[in-house]
Amino acid sequence: MTDDAKKQSPSDKILATRRNFLGKAGLGAGAALVSSTVAAPYVNAQTGPIKWRLQTYSGAPLGAHVIKPQIDAFNAAANGEMVIELYYADQLVPTADLFRALQAGTLDAVQSDEATMASPVDIAVFGGYFPFATRYSLDVPALFRYYGLKEIWEEAYADVPNVTWLSTGAWDPLHIFTVNKPIKSLADMNGLRVFGVPTAGKFLSRYGLVPVTIPWDNVEVALQTGELDGVAWCGFTEAYEVGWADVCNYALSNSVTGAWFGSYFANSPSWAKVPPHLKELFLMSIDQSHYYRDVWYWGGEAKLRVEGEKMELTALPAEDWNKVVTDSKGFWDEIAASSPRAGRVVQAFKKYDETMQKAGYPYR
C-alpha cells in the first residue's frame, strides 16, 4: 500500500470507490452506444461533420460527472458525422448570458437550469431548486412524464424564437454549507453571504440569507478569503467532489429541496440541421446522462453525510423547520399567481405531493 493510499480520508475513499464503480458498471453515459461504433469514423466528404458548441452551467470538476461522459459517448457513437465541443461554466460566455448566446447561435446547445441562465419564460422560476417541490431525484422525471410538466415546458418554449427545450432531469438535493458559522436556527442565516441558485436564494432570503452571484470557478477562493460565508448550491456529493467540503466546516442537514431541475436546450436552427438519427442518438445520450447523474448523486448523498468527516452536521429546531415548510406553501401561491402557466406547474406540484402523501411508505 502506498503512502497516499494510507493517508486517504474516509470521504476520499468513498469518492474513489464510487468513481471506480461507475466506470466498471458501464454507467459512464452511453457505454452501450460506444461499444457499437466502428474503429474508423465515417466522415461526409462533401460537407464534413456537424459541429456543435455546448456550454454547461457547471465547472470542470463537476462537469466530469454531469455531462462529460455523455458528450464523450455521443461523439464516439456519432461515428464522425457529428462532433460536440464541450465548454464549462463561463468559458465561452458568462453563465448569466447562456440563454442569449444560445438564442443568437453563439452556442448550439446548453445544459443549465432556467433560473441560472436567465431564461425569459414564465416558468423559469421552477428551474433549479424550487422549495419543497421534490424530495427525491425520481420525483423530477415522474412530474414531467405523468403530471404534465413536459407539455408545459414544450408550450412555454414554443413561444421563444430560436430555442428548443429538449429534456429535464434531476440533480442533487439542496443543502447549505458554511465556512465558520454553523446554522442551528433560522436566526443564524441572517447576513450569511452564500453562492447559490436564484429561486432557492430568493426563498431563503426571507430569513436574512444574502445570495451572491460570482463565477463558479471563483467560489472556492471566495470561501477561503471570506467574500462568501457559504454555498447553497448543491448536496453532499457535489460539495465533496468539487472541493467545497475542504473549505466549509459545517453542513445544514435540512434539505429545502430534494432534487435540482436541470435541462438541455438547443438552438432551433442548429437542431433543425441535425438528421433524425443523430437527433435520436443525442436524446438517448441525454437520457443516459440523467441515469448516470441519478446514480452518482444518490450513491453519495447518504454515504458522505454519514461517513464523510470533513463537515460537522447541524439541524434546525423542529419549530424553525416547521416555519420553513409553512412559508414554502405561501411562496408556492405567490409564484402560482405570477402567470396562468406558473399556476399550472404549482398545481401539478400540489397534486403530486398529495398523491405521494396518500401513497405513504415507501414514497413518503
215-242 confidence digits (pLDDT tens): 998 999 999 999 999 999 999 999 999 9
Tens of pLDDT, residues 49-86: 999 999 999 999 999 999 999 999 999 999 999 999 99
| Peptide bond before residue 362 is cis, with ω within 30 degrees of 0 | yes
Report the topology of domain 25-172+260-302.
Answer: D-Maltodextrin-Binding Protein; domain 2 (3.40.190)
What is the pLDDT, as a whole number, of residue 303? Answer: 92
**Between β-strands 50-56 and 82-87, what pairing exists: parallel, antiparallel or unpaired?**
parallel
Closest CA to 345 of 172, 155, 164, 135: 155
Query: Residue ranges of the chain with pLDDT lower than 50?
Result: 25-46
What CATH code is assigned to 174-258+312-359? 3.40.190.170
Percent above pLDDT 70 for the chain? 88
Tell me how crowded residue 9 is: count the other CB atoms within 10 A of its CB.
Answer: 12
Q: Can you give the pLDDT at residue 35?
A: 40
Q: Which long-range contacts (CB under 8 A, 24 or more apart) does 161-165 make?
A: 161/103, 161/268, 162/102, 162/103, 162/104, 162/105, 162/267, 162/268, 162/269, 163/99, 163/102, 163/103, 163/265, 163/266, 163/267, 163/268, 164/265, 164/266, 164/267, 164/268, 164/271, 165/263, 165/264, 165/265
> Hey, where are the domains in the chain?
25-172+260-302, 174-258+312-359
The residue assigned the cell 460536440 is 84
Identify the pLDDT of residue 11. Answer: 73
